[in-house]
């Protein structure tokens, strides 16, 4: 929890006030049996009524004060723990947003979701419970023991002697339960991932009749989570009954010894009754302390998981320009985009790109063709600096992307990924995507992306609603919407990752004409499976297993690259040269 101290410190005074009020309420509650013992042993034998009303009134006043203090403190604890958790969730979300792609790959999306939800909830519960029980339970325990010692030291020894045994039980249970709760959260990550995959792929699952198989997957991980939770619950469940058993044995001993002492005239009946009430208080306090330790076990495990994310270092720092290998080659006008002997691997085992080199001048276009896993999308990931290459350099305007601040770098791109994000909202919201763009930019981008026709067919036009994940749009409509988003801000560099695969040939041809006719100063990289989509690009790059097997224009590759020629002939027919 010390790693999260900076979130607690701004609210320390408020939490201290909360615990102070809780302390006051506990002291008032402790005074009630004390006043009752005075009434029974000192006032009743005298036969006077006035002292009975006096001490009875004090008991009522303490009860009312205890109730008021507890209600007030509980509301304050909920407020402060909520504020701390809100700030923690915000910082955790912001940290997740700034993690590099490789860090997110290691963390996994499911783990990020569970840390942001269930782990922060456990921390919230720990903070709230610690303010409520963290003061009251120890004060009730120690105060009850002190009051008992003051009334009858001999009788109190019977109960105090039981406390070390309870302490041992709490220590052992806590030590065993913390690793179990950490393991439980890890399995919860797995269950979230399975659930996320089922929700996202529900249509494919139903189409392939894999519902029973997915039920089995979920049942397996759910059973594993249940088993771990039951195991941890069985360990922590030992605390309450064992604590109650030990304290009840102590109570039995108190009653037995107290009876002999009253008969011998060494104690009074009022003391015994007060002892019984203090015993109930001590028992409840011990149960509260055990609940604190159980909650502490969960909260500590969750706090470590959250702190691990918050402590992740910045993975892709902006480097000094002088230390960049891109500084070489001065005196010449640099290429707009250049890959200089780039080698990259996602896992460090086998290269996803192997010594890749190419360059584009401003306004030129590059078409990339290759099989699945050949490294096409990896080129875009490196260009946008989602990852850094292990060898070589990626340059934009002669500057290594590692020297360009994230905001400046991102502003250069308009991107439509292969599996891109369509959010719930309106068509305008999806094209604008929280940028300062006027309606004219949206209309122009929609027209260039060939989305104008299907938008105009809707009564609301740009304000037509879009369902979650674009479920009320066809595949081609989604792709045109995403291309419009990429074009809306007139980007310096346009990246289209197989983003026209759902378009018919006519619409695809119109889109290509619009791109080459109206974005002549925009450097483009187009990834496609159709030769017709990239044949008019200034350069075409053919990849296989991360290696360049062809580079040039369409005509050059038809002569020099066998793989390209085979694909072209299979798609367009042998000898056919028109799209």
Q: Is 520 helix (H, G, I), strand (E, B) or coil?
A: coil
Q: What pLDDT is stored for residue 2 in this prediction?
A: 60
Least confident among 159-163, 347-351, 515-519: 159-163
The DSSP code sequence of 420-461 is: ----SEEHHHHHHTTS---HHHHHHHHHHTT-HHHHHTSTTG
The pTM of the whole model exceeds 0.95: no
| Measured distance CA(214)–CA(194) in Å, rounded | 9
8 A C-beta contact, residue 151 and residue 325: no
- Supply the mean pLDDT for the chain: 84
| Measured distance CA(334)–CA(330) in Å, rounded | 8
Q: What pLDDT is stored for residue 3 in this prediction?
A: 63
- Output the CA angle 146-152-153, nearest 5 degrees: 70
| Measured distance CA(577)–CA(402) in Å, rounded | 41
Q: What pLDDT is stored for residue 420 in this prediction?
A: 77
Q: What pLDDT is stored for residue 257 in this prediction?
A: 78
pLDDT at residue 510 greater than cutoff 60: yes
Q: Tens digit of pLDDT for each residue in 57-90?
A: 999 999 999 999 999 999 999 999 999 999 999 9
The DSSP code sequence of 405-426 is: -HHHHHTTEEEE-TT----SEE
Least confident among 45-54, 205-214, 250-259: 250-259
pLDDT at residue 325 greater than cutoff 70: no
Residue with tokens 């040269």: 577
> What's the mean pLDDT in 307-315?
87
pLDDT at residue 328 greater than cutoff 50: no
Q: Tens digit of pLDDT for each residue in 244-283?
A: 787 778 778 777 877 877 777 777 777 778 877 887 787 7
Distances (CA, A) of 495 to 111, 344, 383, 398, 521: 30, 20, 10, 19, 14
8 A C-beta contact, residue 128 and residue 307: no
- Overall size of the chain counted in residues: 579
The DSSP code sequence of 2-45 is: GGGHHHHGGGHHHHHHHHHHHHHHHHHHHHHHHHHHHIIIIIGG
> What's the mean pLDDT in 476-481?
89
pLDDT at residue 395 greater than cutoff 90: yes
pLDDT level of residue 460 (50, 70, 90 thresholds): confident
8 A C-beta contact, residue 523 and residue 335: no
Q: pLDDT > 90: what percent of the chain?
A: 24
| Measured distance CA(568)–CA(579) in Å, rounded | 11
Q: What pLDDT is stored for residue 573 in this prediction?
A: 67
The whole-angstrom distance between residue 313's C-alpha and the CA centroid of its chain comes to 17
Give the dihedral sign, CA 554/559/564/565.
positive
Q: What pLDDT is stored for residue 382 in this prediction?
A: 93
Q: Look up residue 386 and give its DSSP letter.
A: S
> What's the mean pLDDT in 406-416?
91
Q: What pLDDT is stored for residue 393 in this prediction?
A: 92
pLDDT at residue 541 greater than cutoff 90: yes
pLDDT level of residue 383 (50, 70, 90 thresholds): very high
Q: Is 18 exposed, middle or buried, given 0-12, 13-18 or 19+ CB atoms closer than 10 A?
A: buried
Element of type H or E holding 344: strand 337-344
Q: What pLDDT is stored for residue 344 in this prediction?
A: 92
- Output the CA angle 516-518-523, nearest 5 degrees: 55
8 A C-beta contact, residue 141 and residue 286: yes
| Measured distance CA(461)–CA(514) in Å, rounded | 21
8 A C-beta contact, residue 364 and residue 536: no
Q: What pLDDT is stored for residue 568 in this prediction?
A: 87
8 A C-beta contact, residue 33 and residue 278: yes
């Amino acid at each position: 929890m010390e790693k999260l101290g900076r979130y607690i410190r701004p609210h320390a005074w408020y939490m201290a006030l909360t615990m102070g009020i809780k302390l006051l309420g506990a002291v008032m509650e402790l005074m009630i049996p004390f006043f009752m013992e005075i009434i029974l042993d000192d006032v009743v034998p005298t036969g006077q009524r006035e002292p009975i009303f006096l001490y009875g009134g004090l008991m009522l006043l303490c009860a009312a004060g205890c109730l008021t203090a507890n209600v007030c403190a509980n509301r304050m604890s909920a407020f402060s723990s909520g504020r701390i958790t809100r700030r923690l969730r915000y910082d955790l979300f912001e940290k997740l947003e700034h993690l590099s792609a490789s860090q997110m790959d290691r963390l996994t999306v499911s783990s990020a979701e569970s840390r942001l939800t269930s782990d922060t909830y456990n921390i919230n519960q720990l903070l709230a419970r610690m303010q409520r029980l963290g003061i009251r339970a120890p004060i009730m325990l120690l105060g009850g023991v002190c009051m008992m010692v003051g009334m009858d030291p001999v009788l109190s020894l019977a109960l105090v002697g039981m406390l070390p045994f309870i302490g041992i039980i709490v220590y052992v249970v806590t030590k065993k339960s913390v690793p179990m709760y950490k393991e439980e959260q890890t399995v919860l990550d797995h269950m979230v991932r399975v659930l996320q995959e089922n929700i996202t792929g529900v249509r494919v699952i139903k189409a392939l009749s894999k519902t029973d198989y997915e039920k089995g997957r979920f049942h397996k991980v759910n059973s594993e989570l249940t088993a771990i939770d039951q195991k941890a619950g069985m360990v922590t469940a030992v605390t309450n009954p064992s604590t109650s058993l030990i304290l009840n044995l102590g109570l039995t001993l108190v009653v037995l010894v107290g009876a002999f002492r009253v008969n011998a005239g060494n104690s009074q009946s009022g003391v015994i009754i007060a002892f019984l009430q203090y015993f109930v208080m001590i028992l409840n306090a011990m149960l509260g302390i055990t609940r604190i330790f159980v909650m502490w076990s969960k909260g500590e495990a969750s706090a470590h998981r959250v702190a691990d994310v918050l402590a992740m270092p910045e993975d892709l720092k902006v480097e000094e320009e002088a230390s960049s290998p891109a500084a070489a080659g001065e005196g010449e006008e640099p290429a707009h985009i250049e890959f200089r002997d780039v080698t990259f691997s996602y896992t460090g085992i086998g290269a996803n790109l192997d010594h890749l080199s190419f360059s584009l001048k401003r306004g030129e276009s590059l078409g990339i063709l290759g099989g699945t896993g050949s490294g096409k999308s990896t080129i875009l990931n490196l260009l946008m600096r989602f990852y850094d290459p292990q060898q070589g350099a990626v340059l934009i305007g002669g500057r290594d992307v590692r020297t360009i601040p994230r905001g400046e770098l991102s502003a250069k791109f308009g991107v439509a990924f292969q599996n891109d994000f369509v959010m719930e909202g309106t068509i305008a919201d999806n094209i604008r995507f929280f940028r300062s763009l006027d309606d004219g930019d949206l209309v122009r981008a929609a027209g260039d992306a060939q989305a104008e026709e299907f938008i105009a067919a809707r009564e609301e036009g740009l304000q037509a609603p879009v369902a979650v994940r674009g479920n009320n749009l066809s595949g081609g409509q989604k792709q045109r919407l995403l291309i419009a988003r990429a074009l809306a801000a007139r980007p310096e560099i346009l990246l289209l990752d197989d983003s026209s695969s759902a378009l018919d040939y006519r619409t695809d041809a119109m889109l290509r004409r619009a791109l080459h006719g109206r974005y002549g100063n925009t450097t483009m990289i187009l990834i496609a499976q159709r030769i017709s989509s990239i044949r008019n690009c200034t350069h075409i790059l053919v990849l296989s297993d991360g290696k360049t097997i062809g580079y040039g224009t369409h005509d050059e590759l038809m002569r020099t690259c066998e793989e390209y020629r085979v694909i072209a002939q299979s798609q367009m027919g042998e000898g056919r040269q028109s799209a």
